[in-house]
Amino acid sequence: MQEKDSDSEITTNPVVSNLSRRTRILRKLTFIVPVTVLSLIILMAIFADLAWLGFPDVRLSPYDPVKMSLPDRLTPPFWAEGGSTEHILGTDKMGRDILSRLIFGARISISVSLLVIAITAAVGTILGILGGYLGGRTEAFLMRITDISMAFPPILVAMLLCVSMGPSFVTVVLAISLLGWAPYARLIRGEALRIREEDFIAQARIIGTSPLRTMVRHIFPNIINPLIIVMTLQIGLLIITEATLSFLGVGIPPPAPSWGNMVNDGRNLVDTAWWISTFPGVAIALVVMSGNFFGDWLRDKLDPRLRQL
């Protein structure tokens, strides 16, 4: 009876109930806010140049992102002195509309991130499962390759590859993917080692299930949760990497509206035309933080060891 009374006192305590209510609200916000931001960015990238409801003059992007208009160059945002509602976020030194370039820049950043995630996750998962399940010399060989790959700085290798092959969309994807598979392989190998010792894997071996079928039907479904978490957390890192390469001039070649190119365009005009670099920088920060928060939320939900009831 005393334990029940103490439990009822805790549940009826207004301080405790307020804390629990705030905790629930924060948990919901860590899901709602990043998902909303990421959804808006993705929709913006998909429908950047589509006409609305059959009206060709009504588009999400108000202008052609690469069209120059020198009379309108360095127009500030509409709320600043000298601004105009024709260019809500202003224009750059070539007279190109910042909002339009932000919208199309989202398409480039999201496309690069998704392609790199698809390539690196596929390669890393295959190698990780092979090494973790087969073990022996196969595991030693694959993990030594993984260790060597993780020893090199990814951004430096990507820069060297982009310089040697020439800047382009395909080059950026290949350069980032070259070493990006290694963290996946290391993680999946550890999960495969753990799952390999489970009873259902032993039963599959007893009934004569082939190694390939065991890896595909039994091990892969059990590593999907950590794989999804890592893929989500990689979104922000990949966008930063692509923006860094474009900022350094070895990524997406101009005049393509990459966020990194936009930051680079305004780095010498921060004092007089702050909006050129600020808005793409804010967009990068929002996507990176949203991806990290969403990845943390997924980890708490999908990992039973971290799940909060």
CA–CA gap between residue 150 and residue 137 (Å, rounded):
20
Which one, of 132, 141, 138, lies nearest residue 198 by Cα?
Answer: 132
Give the whole-number percent of the chain exceeding pLDDT 70: 87
DSSP β-bridge partners for residue 127: none
CA–CA gap between residue 279 and residue 285 (Å, rounded):
10
> pTM of the prediction?
0.82
Q: pLDDT tens, 106-163?
A: 888 888 989 999 999 999 999 999 998 888 888 899 999 999 988 888 888 888 888 8
Residue of 151 and 29 predicted with greater confidence: 151
Q: Is the dihedral of CA 43, 47, 52, 54 positive or negative?
A: negative
Degrees to nearest 5, angle at CA 290 with 112 and 248: 45
| For helices 136-151 and 98-134, angle between their N-to-C axes, nearest 10 degrees | 150
What residue ranges define each of the domains in the chain, with the CATH number in brackets?
A: 70-302 (1.10.3720.10)
Q: pLDDT tens, 42-84?
A: 888 888 776 554 555 556 778 888 888 888 888 889 888 888 8
Average model confidence (pLDDT) for the chain?
A: 83
CB atoms within 10 A of CB 303: 12
pLDDT value at residue 3: 46
Tokens matching residue 11: 């549940």
